[in-house]
Amino acid sequence: MSLLRSLSIEIIIGISVFLTRLPWISNGLGMDSDGDRVLNAAINLARTGVYNPSRFPAYPLPEYVDGLLVYFDLSSPFWLNLPVALLSGVCSGVIYYWFKSFSPIKGALIALAFAFTPAVYLASTGPLDYLYGITFITLSLAVPRRYVIQKGVFLGLAASSRLSYVFGVVPVVLLFLDKLSWENVKANSKNMVLICLVSGAVTILFELPLYVHYKLAWLHFEDDFDLKETIQLLVGNTTFRMFGVLGSVCVYALIAAAVYNFKKNRELFKQPVFRPLLVMAVIYFLVFLRLPHEAAYLMPVLLPLYAFLVLSLPKYYSFALIFCLAVSNLLGSVVKDDIGGVRLLWKGPLLLTKAKEDQWACIDHLARDFMSKQDANVYLIGGTTLCPKARRWGLDAASRVVEFVKKTPEGVLTAAHDNTALPANARFYLLDVWIRQQQHHWKFTSDFSYELLHTVETCGRPD
């Protein structure tokens, strides 16, 4: 009871954040097609006992959890999203616990700013791994230094959720170094080695099935590089995709104010907690630069950012920050259209995602019904969104739903996602929602003929 009383504010913050997620976790698995791939991996694990990851380099801990839920017939979006929503509450409570020593109110403001950041909020309403990783790395950093084994376990769980969190060992061991001196390193070397051993053992335990089945082939990262696209991703994921439209204006205005007052706050960076935070920010920003595909990759950078803003500026700035971030979840989105253009929509990320989930649930139903009535020569071009959904149809026709189609130099039509050759007598239907994108990127009209499967009239558009 004394422990519960001492953590009462942490528990209140955690429950409050969790409750804000509940209205959004029942509708679907999010608009990232990886959510459907996670469910497919969980279904396969529950049925066969063999772990085939949703994508490489694999995210075993969250996918084992999802496999367990599916095994007990808890495979609805609510149950698959529930663990992530719970972790968002845990993470917020841990952030408050970590920073309350500066000031309880400022600790709460840092926790709430993190919780209401649109990229964090959106990630906490789907089944992906982001909240697993950030929660466990935050726990590893926040628990007192005397709990060395616990720090190692949490770090190992973070790396087992998302492999890039193996780099979290650097800020975690830095917590033991009050001064950067060789004597201090020698005095704490036992604890630092123990953290490395424990976290490594936990990570290996979760990753071992991957090595058994794939050897080292599972250590695969995307390596496509296009300068223009990379710059667009960098800009988008460090602004409106992370903070929302209004949130971006507020965050960057406060960064300017905090930097302007830096001389008054330079003592802040001498606090023991800030050294590992700054190192973590540098590490994960560099990791993000290597693969800047998602704003959620920057979650570890948010902790030092919000700590800097909240602790160095008057409290009313922080209240304004949280208000702007919260509103940005519901109002205002900047999205790319089918052919790479940019549009500003009134719906925020949460409302837009819900509308897209409704639209694709309708499209999934129409496409399944259509393909169930077609002969074996009919193929449906469904893009990255429909393909993983089709794998759960339980129909032979599901194997004839392809992401894209392209023609080889020899003139052979192939499924672009796995380069499978398609029959010469194949007939193609294309979802009408993809028409502009496909004609722009793949020049369909010059490659082969197709017919449209009309869905927009029935299912509408999310915007």
Last residue of a domain, one of 270, 296, 329: 329
Q: Report the SS3 class of residue 453.
A: strand
User: Which range marks the domain in which residue 374 is found?
Assistant: 349-459
- Residue 285's alpha-carbon distances to 43, 169, 455, in angstroms, are 34, 16, 41
Q: How many domains, in total, are found in the chain?
A: 2
Residues 95 and 223 both lie in one domain = yes
- pLDDT of 342 > 90? The answer is no
In a domain, residue 77? The reply is yes
- The residue among 117, 113, 158, 169 whose CA lies nearest residue 135 is 158
When pLDDT is averaged across residues 253-272 and rounded to a whole number, the result is 83
- The residue among 284, 300, 303 whose CA lies nearest residue 292 is 284
Residues 52 and 200 both lie in one domain = yes
Residues 356 and 324 both lie in one domain = no
Distance between CA atoms of residues 63 and 79, nearest Å: 13
Residues 140 and 258 both lie in one domain = yes
Distance between CA atoms of residues 46 and 35, nearest Å: 17
Distance between CA atoms of residues 77 and 30, nearest Å: 9
Share above pLDDT 70 across residues of the chain, in percent, rounded to a whole number: 91
Q: Which two tokens stand for residue 266?
A: 């330079």
Which of the four pLDDT bands, split at 50, 70 and 90, describes residue 439?
A: low
Which of the four pLDDT bands, split at 50, 70 and 90, describes residue 340?
A: low
Ramachandran area for residue 128 (φ above 0: left; ψ -120 to 50: alpha; else beta): beta
Distance between CA atoms of residues 391 and 318, nearest Å: 46
Residues 29 and 140 both lie in one domain = yes
Distance between CA atoms of residues 157 and 91, nearest Å: 14
Distance between CA atoms of residues 262 and 268, nearest Å: 9
Q: What is the pLDDT of residue 176?
A: 86
Which of the four pLDDT bands, split at 50, 70 and 90, describes residue 303?
A: very high
In a domain, residue 8? The reply is yes
Q: Which two tokens stand for residue 405?
A: 């189609």
pLDDT digits (tens, 9 = 90+) for 9-42: 999 999 999 999 999 999 889 878 899 999 999 9
In a domain, residue 267? The reply is yes
In a domain, residue 238? The reply is yes
According to DSSP H, which parts of 49-166 are helical?
60-71, 77-99, 104-115, 118-123, 130-142, 148-161
Residues 408 and 353 both lie in one domain = yes
In a domain, residue 344? The reply is no
Residues 57 and 160 both lie in one domain = yes
Q: What is the pLDDT of residue 445?
A: 46
When pLDDT is averaged across residues 168-174 and rounded to a whole number, the result is 92
When pLDDT is averaged across residues 116-124 and rounded to a whole number, the result is 97
Q: What is the value of pTM for the model shown?
A: 0.93
| Residue 51, φ and ψ in degrees, nearest 5 | -90, 110
Residues 284 and 422 both lie in one domain = no
Answer whether the bond into residue 127 is a cis peptide, omega within 30°.
no
Strand order in the sheet with 405-407: 405-407, 413-415, 420-421
What does DSSP assign to residue 129? Answer: S
